[in-house]
Amino acid sequence: MHRIIDQLLFLIDNIPGEFRHMSELEISQRPAPQKWSKKEILGHLCDSAINNLDRFIKIQYEKQPFLLTPYDQVHWVKIQGYQELPFDEVMNLWVSLNKKIYICS
C-alpha cells in the first residue's frame, strides 16, 4: 500500500509539469469526434477521484461487504463540461482531489 501511495504522490507532483509543456490546442483537441481530448481525460480522472473518494470514505464505516455503485463516465465528463473549462481549473481540481485521496488513505 505504501508503494501505491508513493506513486500517487509522485503523480500529483509531476503531472502538472508534464502538461505545462503542451499547447492549449494539444490539450484541448479531440483526436476524433467521439474521442476525449487530454483535458477531458484529465476531467474523467477528476470524476474517478470524486467517486473513489466517496468509496474510500464509506468503506471505512458502512456495513460490509461494501457495494460499489457504478457511474456513467461519458455523462459525467459531458455534464461537468471539462472541454469548456480553463485547463488550469481542471488541473487544479485533479491535484486537489488526489491530495484529498492521499489524506484519506
Residue 100 CA from chain centroid, whole number:
12
Residue 5 confidence class, pLDDT cut points 50, 70, 90: confident
Note the pLDDT tens digit of each residue in 65-74: 888 999 999 9
pLDDT of residue 6: 84
Residue range 13-69, pLDDT digits in tens: 999 999 999 999 999 999 999 999 999 999 999 999 999 999 989 998 998 888 899
Alpha carbon dihedral 23, 24, 28, 32, in 10-degree steps, equals: -40
What pLDDT was estimated at residue 8? Answer: 85
CA atoms of 100 and 97, how far apart (whole Å): 5
DSSP 69: P
Q: How far apart are CA 40 and CA 33, in angstroms?
A: 13
Which residues, including other chains, have CB under 8 Å from residue 101's CB and lie 6 or more apart?
Answer: 8, 49, 52, 53, 56
pLDDT at position 71, please?
95
> Which pLDDT belongs to residue 104?
76
Query: What's the number of CA atoms in the CB half-sphere (13 Å) around residue 50?
Result: 15
Q: What is the pLDDT of residue 1?
A: 65
CA distance 12 to 10: 6
